[in-house]
Amino acid sequence: MGKKRKHSETQTAEPRKKDEGAPERPKRTLMGWKDKDEVNQQTESSPDSPQVFRNKEKVMVTCSRRINYRYRHLMLNMVSLLPHCKKDNKVESRSSKGATLNELIELRGCSSALFFECRKHQDLYMWMARCPNGPSVKFLVNAVHTMEELKLTGNHLKGSRPLLTFSSNFEKDAHWKLLKEMIIQIFGTPKEHRKSKPYHDHVFVFSIVDDHIWFRNYQKSVPHNESDKMVRGLDKMTLVEVGPRFCLNPIKIFAGSFGGPTLYENPFYVSPNQIRALEKRKKAGKYAKKVKAKTRRKMHEQSNPLEPDEFADMWRE
Amino acid sequence: MEMMLYFHAMGLRRKDLSFLQSGKAVEDNVNDVMGDYSEEDDSESVSESESDQEDVKLAEPSKTAIYNREGLVEKCEDISWPENVGWMHKLSLDVDQEKEVDVNDDLARELAFFTQALEGTRAAFDKFQSMGLPFLRPPDYYAEMVKTDAHMQKVKGKLLAQKRQIEESEERRKARDAKRIAKEVQAEKLKERAKQKKQEIEEVKKWRKQRQQSGFKDGKDGMPDLGFENGKAFERSSKKRPGVSRGDRSGGKAKQGGGKSNNKNKKNREFRNSKFGFGGRKGMKKQNTAEMTNDVLAFNKSNAAGNRKRKR
């Protein structure tokens, strides 16, 4: 997995503090002893400090076969936005989906996955899963706008760490909290990642409107007149939209990775197939209804004959 | 059961519902707190509303939706990072969202996202300030960007094209308005002149009638009051038409006797003449004067070349 670079404290066996599903990671903070229970520990000197935390998140990004061009571009945008991801080849079939994908993730040594599944060349489903035994979520993706659209004019450093903002209604319910946690771990770039760049010049917006999660990516832009002042015109800071836009509709949350018992099901979700079927059914009866309406009118006219018109003979020659 | 009836009313078949109920079949050992959820969301009253992502919601929440609150909380604790991880790792901010945003109102929705991002950024900036870390990108830091330079060129081109389009349409509109106004003004002026002319003719007629009526007496009162006695001298119009020689090619618009500019005009004229040759005096080729009309004999002689062209 991750090679130790400069911070080469050899960490042999990371002691497990709690009995958790996720593997214990040593904590480390830049500022030294920022945390409560490390006040008496020297983090730099001790080679085997269990408190150093390193975010070793790796995300595997794949898609299914027969994916649409638009969704493929969305996937590529995600790859460029997350420097801690690994892009993999297309996965084949859906029958043994869970097992195959889990194996792939293990093989690449990743801890989470973003899987884009496109059905019927029309609908895009996105799976966010945590590999070993974590929860997984299936979303339906709507309203996709990729970064290549010329109306989205912003630009930012490739690999700079994003600022994640969530609207306050993520705290309202348990399933939103779980989703928020997963989003922070998957979309947040780890702190000293090899490919990450300094400065934080873009913001991700996740907000829940109408029970959907909306995603936006903005670049922070400041007018460049005053140089090098920290408080440099923060009032004049504007945001320019950069990145892809999409809207996620959560369908189901599973306890295991790509399977397992269902923890949550969206009660309002209607699958796009059903929507299309409904529409077709609505249209199907149009001709029959028209014919029926005609016969009804005829019957009505026959049963209620009009009175003879006074002016009927007026213009007769 | 109610769900079944509901879907039957909508004409769906049973097998379409199977995916919705698959969750129930799979989970065995997890506590099913289904009733717990249904009582929460009965207040939803979204009838088949088409949100703008072409997505239809059920009119009432499906009663058999699973909601395993304890399971969710447990999983959340499982995956979350330890409590005392610094904020620098997470970089997540919560922004208060005061009011409900209507999904279908695009502008309001985007505005809400924008303000959320802005507030988040401000809060983060404060935090970074207090920690003394650099925040924004300095203007001289060049590194690989997420969109290529070629792409940004295209974006710039499109923006410029849009701006140019707007400006052109503005100009066209202004030109149209100006033309309309100019036309109106011109029409006014013509009307004025016509009226003036008619008025003067009327006055002369009146005067003639007056004279006729009063028997052609000759006296000073007979003359029409044309305003000569009023003390106003005969005002020349400002257009410099009279006084132009017959051969003048400047159309009467050249300034007669302007002191300073005269020399420049002359020099200009001489330069042009030397370059392009003198054009010749205007209209002196043929004249209908007394001499020519009396000179019948010269007619045949002088125009011998032209005689050939006449019909024989």
A-facing residues of B in 29-48 (CB < 8 A) are 29-30, 37-38, 41, 44, 46
User: In sequence order, which residues have a C-beta less than 8 Å from that of residue A266 and are 6 or more positions away?
Assistant: A211, A249, A250, A251, A252, B65
Q: Is A274 within 8 Å of B84 when comparing Cβ atoms?
A: no
- Say yes or no: A284 contacts chain B, CB-CB below 8 A: no
Determine the residue of chain A that is closest to B21 in CA distance: A265
Q: Is A161 within 8 Å of B73 when comparing Cβ atoms?
A: no
Helix (H) or strand (E) segment spanning residue B263: helix B259-276
> What are A99's two structure tokens?
């097992």
A256: number of Cβ within 10 Å: 18
- Say yes or no: B244 contacts chain A, CB-CB below 8 A: no
Q: B156 CA to chain A: closest CA distance, Å?
A: 8
| Ramachandran sector of residue B24 (left: φ over 0; alpha: ψ -120 to 50; beta: rest) | alpha
Asked whether the beta carbons of A266 and B65 are under 8 A apart, the reply is: yes
> How many Cα atoms within 13 Å fall on the side-chain side of residue A80?
21
Q: Is B136 within 8 Å of A201 when comparing Cβ atoms?
A: yes
- State the pLDDT at residue A29: 54
Give me the amino acid identity at A312.
A
Q: B240 CA to chain A: closest CA distance, Å?
A: 57
- State the pLDDT at residue B302: 56
> Rounded to the nearest 5°, which phi and psi values hold at A87?
-90, 135
Residues of A in contact with B19 (CB under 8 A): 271
- State the pLDDT at residue B191: 96
Q: A103 CA to chain B: closest CA distance, Å?
A: 20
Give CA–CA dist A23/A184, Å, rounded.
Answer: 17
Determine the residue of chain A that is closest to B71 in CA distance: A263
- Say yes or no: A172 contacts chain B, CB-CB below 8 A: no
Q: What is the mean pLDDT of each run of 10 residues along chain B (312 residues)?
A: 44 42 40 38 34 53 78 86 78 79 85 89 84 72 88 94 97 96 96 96 92 72 58 60 72 64 79 85 77 68 58 58
Q: Is A185 within 8 Å of B44 when comparing Cβ atoms?
A: no
- State the pLDDT at residue B228: 59
Specify the length of chain B in residues: 312
B68, B96, B158: residue with CB nearest A168:
B96
Determine the residue of chain B that is closest to A52 in CA distance: B85
ipTM > 0.90 for the complex: no
- Say yes or no: B87 contacts chain A, CB-CB below 8 A: no
> What are B183's two structure tokens?
């036309």
Residues of B in contact with A182 (CB under 8 A): 79
The CB-based long-range contact list for B23-30 (8 Å cut-off, 24+ gap) reads B23/A252, B23/A262, B23/A265, B23/B66, B24/B64, B24/B66, B26/A261, B26/A262, B27/A261, B27/A262, B27/B66, B27/B68, B28/A261, B29/A261, B30/A255, B30/A261, B30/A262, B30/A263, B30/B68, B30/B71
- Say yes or no: A221 contacts chain B, CB-CB below 8 A: no
- State the pLDDT at residue B221: 56
Q: What is the pTM of this model?
A: 0.62
Q: Is A267 within 8 Å of B113 when comparing Cβ atoms?
A: no
- State the pLDDT at residue A37: 41
- State the pLDDT at residue B83: 75
- State the pLDDT at residue A38: 42
- Say yes or no: B1 contacts chain A, CB-CB below 8 A: no
Q: pLDDT digit of tens for each residue in chain A (317 aa)? A: 455 555 444 444 444 444 445 555 555 655 544 444 443 444 333 333 456 778 888 999 999 888 899 999 999 999 999 999 999 988 886 666 788 889 889 999 999 999 999 888 889 999 999 888 889 999 999 999 999 999 999 898 888 888 999 998 888 888 899 999 999 999 988 888 888 888 888 899 999 988 899 999 999 888 766 545 555 556 678 899 998 999 999 999 999 888 888 988 988 888 999 999 999 988 888 888 999 999 999 999 999 888 877 887 788 77
Helices assigned H by DSSP within chain A = 69-81, 97-108, 174-187, 272-284, 286-303
Determine the residue of chain B that is closest to A76 in CA distance: B146
Closest CA to A55 of A20, A35, A14, A84: A84
Give CA–CA dist A261/B25, Å, rounded.
Answer: 9
- State the pLDDT at residue A312: 76
